[in-house]
Amino acid sequence: MTFQSAVESTAPVRDHFRAGLQGLRKADRGRLRYTSPRRLRGSVNVDQALRGSYPNDPRWDYAIGIRRDGRSDEAVWAEVHAASSLHVNELLAKLQWLRRWLDQ
């Protein structure tokens, strides 16, 4: 399955797919390093897409699709913060939230 088709078949985020890294806030795009831009399949600002549905939850920041082989894509889940700005407990809460959301 492609990253784009997975996003578009997931109701809460279906309208938030963007090509390349366009789903990331402009300030965050420069924080990521990647060696093969052609492998970038798209991105979603998960935090923004789900803010209305989960306004008080510790939402994950981004999902990024990467072509892993000739047949399928893989989602990489990214939190983009300076290491000093996010405490471990906050990151763990976001990870627990992401796992619960993905299970739904």
Question: What is the band of 83 on the pLDDT scale with cuts at 50, 70, 90?
Answer: low
Output the pLDDT for position 91: 86
Q: What is the pLDDT of residue 25?
A: 94
3-state secondary structure of 84: helix
Q: Quick check: 46 and 53 in contact, CB under 8 A?
A: no
What pLDDT does residue 87 have? 79
* Helix ranges restricted to H, the chain: 3-8, 26-29, 46-50, 88-103
pLDDT for 22-76, tens place per residue? 999 999 998 888 888 889 999 999 999 999 999 999 999 999 999 987 778 999 9
CA atoms within 13 A on the CB side of 42: 17
- Rounded to a whole number of angstroms, the CA Rg of the chain reads 14
Cα gap 5→13, rounded to integer Å: 11
Higher-pLDDT residue of 15 and 80 is 15
Give the per-residue pLDDT at 84.
67
Cβ pair 60, 94 in contact under 8 A: yes
Rounded distance, CA 5 to CA 65, Å? 11
